[in-house]
Structure 1
Amino acid sequence: MPADTRLSRMLHVLIHMDHIGAPVTSEAIGRMISTNPVVVRRTMAGLKAAGYVTSGKGHGGGWALARPLDEVTLRDIHDALGGPKLFAIGLADDDPRCLVEKAVNAAMDEAMAEAERRLLDRFGEVTIGSLARDVAHARQNL
């Protein structure tokens, strides 16, 4: 199963949008992340519905930030993207009557649920603004 890169791609896009400071077309975003503008529009629609970006049509139109990046966390964007699955590990379901399978699945399910809670909590602590500042700092140190 291929990795779901929507979260990292959208974080990338939002930081670039902040640096650009003007509306950015779906075509330009598509070039940024090497994807089709239709995919960009579909993905950005979730961010728009959640109030993180706006869109304008016509000359000078495009996608723009609706909120400062310091007010938006990684968790916010993860949720706006529909809460993509964080782990690719799955549980076996070959024989639901098997006591070994039940014990293994219960232990793994509990551990993965705890890991997901911790990861999402951490995502909620990190603002995109802090990532943008990390980028700016790295540029200064080149």
Structure 2
Amino acid sequence: MRVDSRMSRTLHALIHMDHAEGPLTSETLAEMLGTNPVVVRRLFGGLRDCGYVQSEKGHGGGWVLSAPLEKITLLDVYRAVGEPPLFSDLVSEDHPECQVERAVNAHLSGALKEAEDALLARFGRVTLAMLSSGFHAPSPAKRKARKPRQPRED
């Protein structure tokens, strides 16, 4: 079974975007994540639909955050990337008529559901800001998408 890395890749990209000095293109993000720009655009489509990122067109355009990392949880990202499987499928249905297999499957399914509920609850309590605290991630483009500060009136 192939490992689904959509969530970890997306988290990686979002934290780098927070440290960037401007928009990051799909090509730049794809190179950083070792994938294709089309995959980045597909991943970021769900994030855009949820209001976490936006794309800027034209020269100097690319992807930028539209919400602060403090407002985005792991659960938000999990849902935005299509709710990939959290665990491998431990349940076998090779012999559905077998009472032993049915008993084993019932127990495993219940345990997996409890584990999934606990993990999703934890995801809801962890923000991307919490993940990025304590280090300064170097951005591949060394650009930061921030609004210009207003001059202070003294």
1:115-126 equivalence runs, <5 A: 115-126=115-126
Gaps of 5+ in 1: 138-142
Asked if residue 38 in structure 1 is aligned to residue 38 in structure 2, the reply is: yes
Percent identity between the two aligned chains = 52
Map of 1:24 onto structure 2: 24
Equivalents in 1 of 2:136, 2:31: separation in Å?
22
1:1-142 equivalence runs, <5 A: 1-136=1-136
Equivalents in 2 of 1:136, 1:30: separation in Å?
21
Output the amino acid matched with 2:92.
A
Maintained 8 Å contact 2:17/2:24: yes
Length-normalised TM-score, structure 1: 0.92
1:117-138 CA-partner distances (Å, limit 9, x unpaired): 111111111100111113339x
Deviation at 1:99, TM superposition (A): 0.9
Higher relative contact order (CA 8 A, sep 6+): 2
Equivalents in 2 of 1:89, 1:134: separation in Å?
35
Equivalents in 1 of 2:59, 2:11: separation in Å?
26
Deviation at 1:8, TM superposition (A): 0.7
Equivalents in 2 of 1:125, 1:134: separation in Å?
18
Deviation at 1:31, TM superposition (A): 1.1
Map of 2:148 onto structure 1: none
Output the amino acid matched with 1:132.
S
CA RMSD of aligned residues (A): 1.3
Equivalents in 1 of 2:102, 2:24: separation in Å?
50
Output the amino acid matched with 2:45.
A
Output the amino acid matched with 1:104.
V
Equivalents in 1 of 2:71, 2:135: separation in Å?
17
Moved over 4 A (4+): none
Q: Structure 1 residues 21 and 121 mapped into 2: Cα distance closer, same or farther (>3 Å)?
A: farther
In our comparison, the structure showing a higher alpha carbon Rg is: 2
Higher share of residues assigned helix: 1
DSSP 3-state at the match of 1:135: coil
Gaps of 5+ in 2: 138-154
Deviation at 1:90, TM superposition (A): 3.0
